Amino acid sequence: MKKYRNTESLERDLKILHLERKIAVEEFKNLKAQYKEDLKPLNWIQSGIQIFGKLGGVLLIKKFLNRK
Protein backbone atom coordinates (compact mmCIF):
# COMPACT_ATOMS: atom_id res chain seq x y z
CA MET A 1 0.00 0.00 0.00
CA LYS A 2 1.34 3.38 -0.98
CA LYS A 3 1.80 6.05 1.68
CA TYR A 4 1.15 9.63 0.67
CA ARG A 5 2.97 12.61 2.11
CA ASN A 6 0.72 15.31 0.71
CA THR A 7 -2.82 15.66 -0.57
CA GLU A 8 -1.76 16.73 -4.06
CA SER A 9 -0.19 13.38 -4.89
CA LEU A 10 -3.17 11.56 -3.36
CA GLU A 11 -5.63 13.62 -5.41
CA ARG A 12 -3.54 13.14 -8.55
CA ASP A 13 -3.50 9.36 -8.13
CA LEU A 14 -7.24 9.33 -7.41
CA LYS A 15 -7.85 11.35 -10.56
CA ILE A 16 -5.69 8.95 -12.60
CA LEU A 17 -7.54 5.93 -11.20
CA HIS A 18 -10.88 7.58 -11.94
CA LEU A 19 -9.87 8.27 -15.55
CA GLU A 20 -8.52 4.72 -15.99
CA ARG A 21 -11.84 3.38 -14.70
CA LYS A 22 -13.77 5.58 -17.15
CA ILE A 23 -11.59 4.35 -20.01
CA ALA A 24 -12.13 0.72 -18.99
CA VAL A 25 -15.91 1.23 -18.85
CA GLU A 26 -15.94 2.81 -22.31
CA GLU A 27 -13.82 -0.02 -23.74
CA PHE A 28 -16.25 -2.52 -22.22
CA LYS A 29 -19.20 -0.69 -23.80
CA ASN A 30 -17.42 -0.76 -27.16
CA LEU A 31 -16.75 -4.51 -26.86
CA LYS A 32 -20.38 -5.11 -25.97
CA ALA A 33 -21.52 -3.20 -29.06
CA GLN A 34 -19.07 -5.13 -31.26
CA TYR A 35 -20.28 -8.49 -29.95
CA LYS A 36 -23.88 -7.42 -30.42
CA GLU A 37 -23.11 -6.56 -34.04
CA ASP A 38 -21.16 -9.78 -34.61
CA LEU A 39 -23.97 -11.95 -33.28
CA LYS A 40 -26.62 -10.61 -35.65
CA PRO A 41 -27.98 -13.34 -37.95
CA LEU A 42 -27.13 -11.36 -41.09
CA ASN A 43 -23.45 -11.34 -40.13
CA TRP A 44 -23.56 -15.11 -39.56
CA ILE A 45 -25.07 -15.61 -43.01
CA GLN A 46 -22.44 -13.43 -44.65
CA SER A 47 -19.65 -15.29 -42.83
CA GLY A 48 -21.14 -18.62 -43.89
CA ILE A 49 -21.35 -17.52 -47.51
CA GLN A 50 -17.71 -16.41 -47.45
CA ILE A 51 -16.55 -19.69 -45.92
CA PHE A 52 -18.55 -21.81 -48.36
CA GLY A 53 -17.34 -19.67 -51.26
CA LYS A 54 -13.72 -20.24 -50.32
CA LEU A 55 -14.31 -23.94 -49.77
CA GLY A 56 -16.12 -24.23 -53.11
CA GLY A 57 -13.27 -22.46 -54.87
CA VAL A 58 -10.73 -24.83 -53.38
CA LEU A 59 -12.81 -27.85 -54.37
CA LEU A 60 -13.17 -26.57 -57.95
CA ILE A 61 -9.43 -26.04 -58.23
CA LYS A 62 -8.78 -29.55 -56.91
CA LYS A 63 -11.28 -30.97 -59.39
CA PHE A 64 -9.60 -29.25 -62.35
CA LEU A 65 -6.12 -30.24 -61.17
CA ASN A 66 -7.10 -33.89 -60.71
CA ARG A 67 -8.45 -34.13 -64.29
CA LYS A 68 -5.87 -35.66 -66.53
| Number of folded domains that form the chain | 1
* pLDDT score recorded for residue 67: 76
* pLDDT score recorded for residue 8: 94
> In Å, what is the CA distance from 5 to each residue of 13, 17, 22?
13, 18, 26
* pLDDT score recorded for residue 68: 57
Whether 1 is covered by a domain: the verdict is no
Whether 34 is covered by a domain: the verdict is yes
pTM of the full structure: 0.55
* pLDDT score recorded for residue 16: 97
Whether 2 is covered by a domain: the verdict is no
Whether 36 is covered by a domain: the verdict is yes
- The three-point CA angle 31-33-39 to 5° equals 100
Check if the beta carbon of residue 31 is closer than 8 Å to that of residue 25: no
Domain that holds residue 22: 7-66
Query: DSSP code of 68?
Result: -
In degrees and rounded to multiples of 5, residue 42 shows phi and psi of -60, -40
Whether 48 is covered by a domain: the verdict is yes
Whether 51 is covered by a domain: the verdict is yes
Local confidence pLDDT in tens for the 68 residues of the chain: 889 899 999 999 999 999 999 999 999 999 999 888 878 888 778 888 899 898 988 888 888 888 75
